[in-house]
Structures are given as C-alpha cells and as structure tokens.
Amino acid sequence: MMSSRQKTLGGLALACVLATGCEPPPVFATADVRQQQLRSRIEGQVVVQGPVRGNAIVLLYDAERPPPPQGTGRPVSFTVIPREQLFGPADPSAVGPFTAPYAFSQVAKGHYLVRGFIDADTCLMTGNQQPCHTPDFIPWFTVTGEPNAGDVGGAALDASGKPRIVDISPLEDDSLPAATHVNVSFSTEKTRVPFDRPVFWVDGPSRFERKPSTLTLRPLQLQESGVDQRPPSFFVRLVDDNEDGKPDDANGDGSLDLWPRVLVRKLTHVVDPRNPAQGLADENDLDRNGVLDETGEDYIRENGSKDGQPDLVLLSASLSVPPEVLAQLNQKVDGAWSFQPVPSPILTLNLNPAAIDARDPRQPVRLQTIPPGRYSITLVQFTGQTWRVPNELDPLVATPKDLPATGLPPVATQSFVIEVP
C-alpha cells in the first residue's frame, strides 16, 4: 500500500507536469500530409423571403470554376438545411424572412462562390394542383442534382448585388481565418426557376463519319423512381453576354447565338465492366470531379505541336431551331430585341468535322484531327440547368448485371453516345 508520503510526492510530481515549468515531451509534425494542411470554414445564414417551402441546398464552388451558365464547374462541397429547421411550423402563407445557419468545414485556402436553391414542394405552393413537383434533390447523381421548375435559386451577394467572392487566405502568422457572415439570400419573386431541365433524347445515328452532319434532339419527360423532369418543349433564347441589348454572334458566322448552348465532349476510353458508371467519366477526368487529371491524353494541335498537358476535347458543334421558332426570336418589340424564352419542339445539333482542346476555354486550340472514341452531348440552359447523355439512366448503369441497382429508372435513350471511328 502506498504511504502518505509517497502519495504526496506523487501528487507534487503530477502537479509539476500539469502546472509548472517541468519539461514537456517533444511534439513533432505528423507524417500524414493531409493532417498538415491548413483548413478553415465558411459560415453564415440562409435567408428566405417568400412563400416557398422545401429543403435549402447550399453549394460551394471554386470561384475559378464557376457553375453553369458562367462555366462548367461542379460543387466542391454541399450542405442541406432541412425544411423543418428553416421554416419550422410557420403558416404556409407566411413570407418570412426565414433564417437558419449553415457552415462548410475543412475549406482549403482559395476563392469561393456560395450558391444554392430551395428544393421546393410546388404541390403545397399551388394547392396540390397538377402538375407539381415534390422535393427530389439527390446529390449523388447528375440526373437528380439540379433544380427543377418552381425551385428558387439563391447566392451569397456583395453590396452591389453581384455574386460575392469569398476569400480564404492565410494571415501573416500563416493561420487561416474563417469567413463568417456569408449569408445566402433566396427571393421567391426574383429567382424562381421557370422550367424543368432541358432533358432530351437523340434522334439519329450515333456514328459520326467526320463530315458535316446533324442530329435531332427531342424533349423527354421522365417521372419515375425519384426522377421528375417534365419539359413540354425546349426553351430557346437569344444570347446577350455583353448586355448591350443586341444579340451576340460570338464566332461571327452570321447566325445569332442561342441558349441553350451545347457541348460535345470526349468520354474516357477506360471502362471497367465491374464499374459501368466509369464509362460516364469525361476523358482526362477519371475521378469525375470536374478538374482535369494531372496526366492523360495530349493530342497533336493543328500546328503539329503538343502542350504536354491533358486535353479537354470538344467536337465543333452548334444548335439551330425550326424557322418558325427563329422568326419569333427575331421579332422586336417597339424596336428593341426581346430576350424572352421561346418554346421549340426540337433542336437540331450540327456537327462539324473539327475538334478543339478547350483546356483553357478563353483560348481554345484546334486539333490536327478528331480523336476517335465516344462523345457525350450536354445542353446548358441560361438558368444554369443542364442535361447530358449518356447519364446514370443508361440501363447498364442504372441496373448493372451482377451488381446492386442504383434505384434510378433504366431509360434506353439515355445511353446514347456519338461514336467517332
């Protein structure tokens, strides 16, 4: 048994270690580089004004890779604020404002945009009149990861009303401060999404013979197993990126530019039968994070050179509409151009025998030849909504053989790819 004297000495020794100048054990940085990286956080309030009800989806983007329609960036993180937390038991007719906190942790240094949308229950908003949408955001799939008609968009804005760029930069002592009070505002009247995503199927041959050709895109309505997209038609609009009140003709071909825009991008040739979804990855982006891989395919440019970096290969392509739709787009109101969307029953995809490397979208470079392989088709609407084929509704992906099903409905038309021999 320990004596009273031994207990006293032991207590003094412990007190010395805890509270006095006794020599502490040495501490070394971990060998795990992930634990040595500086991380911070972005936090604020979601603020909703209007009768909309639903979960709030808050999305974090790298400011260098903004989302559609400004760019093609994908979220680096997201968080969901449940409807119950945001709106509570408020009367359905109440317009708020309603607020709830949100936060992103483990944010690396950089510049960020914070966007979002309310995944609205339009059945409640319309008194359960059909057609209506119920919340259907599922972040794990491209076909369920964007807003629908009736959802309400939002963003963190600066004092001028423009998207706020959130700066996470080290201080002089190398610490990484948090960005606080980054509020995300949603206004039902100003930012309601007017229609569903530009869902389509492709009418025409998949093989591209490296000569001018066309394919017909037709709207597709889907309402099954969590996928609820019912566009009655495409909605086209003239482009005015420089906001001078006149339609743009960016490439000078004499045809006015239109929304939606189209991208025909080369897919990976790396396909693992045990992982069918890998076939949906873009070339040189095997992890599907929207950032080109450090190594990958580098094709010969038109001048015979290579730049030594993985390419982002696009087929030269454009969209056109039926003459009657074009006539409506060209109508002026009191001498001024109208930039209102016009419904179109089809879109014609014009394919040209040329390919470019769009690694730097501001300075695309023409390639010497069209790389053979599989190509996807993506429509990008002025609302920021997109749709691409092929996607996770491809039966080989939705219901793979000898693997668990995704829960998504298999749709044969959504497996379409352009084949370049």
pLDDT at 11: 45
pLDDT at 382: 95
Q: Does the structure show a pLDDT above 50 at 13?
A: no
Say yes or no: 182 and 321 in one domain.
no
Say yes or no: 171 and 252 in one domain.
no
* Measured distance CA(285)–CA(270) in Å, rounded: 11
- Identify the residue whose tokens are 């505002």: 185
Question: pLDDT of 328-364, one tens digit each?
Answer: 999 888 889 999 999 999 999 999 999 999 999 989 9
Q: Which domain holds residue 180?
A: 37-191
Residue 7 placed within a domain: no
Say yes or no: 319 and 287 in one domain.
yes
Of 226 and 382, the one with more pLDDT: 382
Domain final position from 156, 191, 226: 191
The closest of 10, 91, 18, 79 to 53, measured between CA atoms, is: 91
Question: pLDDT of 103-127, one tens digit each?
Answer: 999 999 999 999 999 999 777 665 5
Say yes or no: 162 and 307 in one domain.
no
Say yes or no: 221 and 251 in one domain.
yes
Domain final position from 191, 214, 239: 191
Q: Does the structure show a pLDDT above 90 at 237?
A: yes
Say yes or no: 263 and 401 in one domain.
yes
Q: Which residues contact 40 (CB under 8 A, 6 or more apart)?
A: 107, 108, 109, 168, 176, 177, 178, 179
Say yes or no: 172 and 220 in one domain.
no
The DSSP call for residue 83 is H
Say yes or no: 131 and 261 in one domain.
no
End-to-end CA distance of the chain: 87
Beta strand pairing call for 40-49 and 184-187: parallel
CA angle 37, 38, 42 (to 5 degrees): 130
Q: What is the CATH number of the domain that holds 163?
A: 2.60.40
Query: Do 115 and 100 touch, CB atoms closer than 8 A?
Result: no
Residue 154 placed within a domain: yes
Say yes or no: 150 and 131 in one domain.
yes
* Measured distance CA(386)–CA(381) in Å, rounded: 6
Residue 5 placed within a domain: no
The closest of 97, 89, 141, 142 to 118, measured between CA atoms, is: 97
pLDDT at 358: 96
Residue 9 placed within a domain: no
Say yes or no: 302 and 322 in one domain.
yes
Q: Does the structure show a pLDDT above 50 at 259?
A: yes
Residue 3 placed within a domain: no
pLDDT at 8: 44
CA angle 319, 323, 324 (to 5 degrees): 120
Q: Does the structure show a pLDDT above 70 at 188?
A: yes
Q: Does the structure show a pLDDT above 50 at 18?
A: no
pLDDT at 226: 83
* Measured distance CA(353)–CA(78) in Å, rounded: 39
Query: Do 335 and 205 touch, CB atoms closer than 8 A?
Result: no
Which DSSP helix (H) or strand (E) runs through 15? helix 4-19
How many domains would you assign to the chain?
2
Residue 150 placed within a domain: yes
Residue 370 placed within a domain: yes
At 96, the pLDDT band (50, 70, 90 cuts) reads: confident
The closest of 90, 109, 21 to 52, measured between CA atoms, is: 90
At 128, the pLDDT band (50, 70, 90 cuts) reads: low
Say yes or no: 274 and 383 in one domain.
yes
Say yes or no: 134 and 217 in one domain.
no
253 backbone dihedrals φ, ψ, rounded to 5°: -90, 5
Residue 60 placed within a domain: yes
Mean pLDDT for the chain overall:
89
* Measured distance CA(183)–CA(101) in Å, rounded: 9
Per-residue pLDDT, averaged over 223-248, amounts to 92
> What would the two tokens of residue 238 be?
């003239």
Domain final position from 147, 169, 191: 191
At 166, the pLDDT band (50, 70, 90 cuts) reads: very high
